[in-house]
């Protein structure tokens, strides 16, 4: 490995050394570090979204540290080490890119994706067969390897894509729009019936899941769409607060809902470079 990687591994091992290591690092486990790993991945995505490539270098380093941290803890328990992690991903990349490292051909990105999914399906089948030898009761599923720790929106997209790969899918986006109208009607019916919390939760979940399906059929990533919607709302609300602060200083009173809505529309009108 490179000197820089070796140095990082040495630093991590020193931090976890029972003789003089860091008390905080020493008490960590896979379970306690996992939330930090997820957080660092999101910070990488945030740096990319902001085109902060100087910051991206640091965020990628933080994410790499998470991999090294997990590998160190695994090594201490004689499970695997960092070299084994690297070897495993190397083997996976070789196996899943036969058009580069083998005799297969794939001339377009879509052909690569189809090849990748076929290879993954074969891997899942092999894993399911191995698991069946250990547990004859287990029924293998195409959804087995989709982790439950993904962000909810992202996991919904993966579940839908996997099911679509088996032919369980809407014919087009317009069909999903019809389903969306149906789900809204069901929420309205629940509200009219008194809005029992468990039922509303169930119906709202169906509505959100259908929205993700609509985005998928339109070729829009739901996670990215909601990220942009959050940023747009935050930007506009901050602008509204600035206008409201000016108005409050002038009139010494609290704005009504109608006045807030008028300020909101003014903020939207001022954003001539962005629809919605």
pLDDT of residue 87: 96
- Dihedral class, residue 202 (left if φ above 0, else alpha if ψ from -120 to 50, else beta): alpha
- Please list the alpha-helical segments (H only) found in the chain: 3-15, 23-26, 30-49, 53-76, 82-96, 98-101, 109-134, 152-165, 173-192, 197-218, 222-251, 257-270
pLDDT of residue 217: 95
- N-term to C-term CA, the chain: 50
152-220 fold: Helix Hairpins (1.10.287)
Q: Other CB atoms closer than 10 Å to residue 232's CB: what's the count?
A: 14
Chain mean position to CA 181: 26
Architecture of the domain defined by 3-96: Orthogonal Bundle (1.10)
Rg of the chain in Å (alpha carbons): 25
pLDDT of residue 134: 55
pLDDT of residue 213: 95
pLDDT of residue 64: 98
> 3-96 and 152-220: same fold?
yes
Query: pLDDT, tens digit, for every residue of 260-270?
Result: 888 889 888 88
pLDDT of residue 275: 52
Query: How far apart (Å, rounded) are the C-alpha atoms in residues 229 and 232?
Result: 5
Per-residue pLDDT of the chain (276 residues; tens, 9 = 90+): 799 999 999 999 999 999 999 999 999 999 999 989 988 998 998 899 889 999 999 999 999 999 999 999 999 999 999 999 999 999 999 999 999 998 888 889 988 888 888 887 787 777 766 666 555 555 678 888 788 878 889 899 999 988 998 889 999 999 999 999 999 999 999 999 998 899 999 999 999 999 999 999 999 989 889 988 998 999 999 998 888 877 665 555 577 888 888 888 988 888 865 555
pLDDT of residue 103: 84
Query: In the chain, what are the domain boundaries?
Result: 3-96, 103-145, 152-220, 224-270
Query: How far apart (Å, rounded) are the C-alpha atoms in residues 275 and 265?
Result: 13
> DSSP 3-state assignment of 84?
helix
String of DSSP letters for 157-170: HHHHHHHHHTT-S-
pLDDT of residue 227: 85
Query: How far apart (Å, rounded) are the C-alpha atoms in residues 7 and 131?
Result: 39
Q: Which pair of tokens denotes residue 151?
A: 């962000």
pLDDT of residue 83: 96
Its sign, for the CA torsion 64, 49, 31, 18, is positive
pLDDT of residue 135: 59
Query: How far apart (Å, rounded) are the C-alpha atoms in residues 221 and 205?
Result: 18
């Amino acid at each position: 490995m490179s000197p820089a990687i070796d140095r990082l591994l040495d630093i991590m091992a020193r931090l976890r050394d029972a003789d003089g290591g860091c008390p905080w690092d020493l008490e960590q486990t896979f379970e306690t570090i996992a939330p930090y790993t997820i957080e660092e991945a999101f910070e990488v995505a945030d740096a990319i979204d902001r085109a902060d490539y100087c910051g991206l270098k640091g965020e990628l380093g933080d994410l790499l540290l998470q991999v090294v941290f997990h590998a160190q803890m695994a090594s201490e328990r004689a499970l695997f080490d960092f070299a084994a992690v690297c070897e495993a991903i190397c083997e996976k990349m070789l196996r899943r890119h036969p058009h580069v490292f083998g005799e297969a051909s794939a001339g377009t990105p879509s052909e690569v994706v189809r090849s990748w999914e076929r290879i993954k399906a074969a891997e899942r089948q092999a894993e399911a067969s191995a698991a069946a030898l250990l547990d004859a009761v287990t029924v293998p599923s195409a959804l087995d390897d989709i982790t439950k720790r993904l962000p909810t929106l992202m996991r919904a997209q993966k579940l839908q894509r996997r099911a679509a790969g088996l032919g369980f899918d809407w014919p087009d986006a317009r069909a999903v729009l019809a389903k969306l109208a149906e789900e809204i009607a069901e929420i309205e019916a629940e509200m009219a019936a008194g809005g029992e919390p468990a039922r509303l939760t169930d119906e709202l979940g169906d509505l959100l899941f259908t929205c993700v399906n609509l985005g998928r059929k339109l070729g829009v990533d739901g996670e990215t769409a909601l990220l942009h919607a959050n940023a747009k709302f935050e930007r506009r609300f901050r602008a509204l607060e600035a206008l409201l602060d000016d108005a409050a200083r002038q009139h010494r009173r609290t704005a009504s809902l109608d006045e807030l809505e008028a300020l909101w529309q003014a903020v939207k009108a001022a954003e001539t470079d962005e629809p919605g």
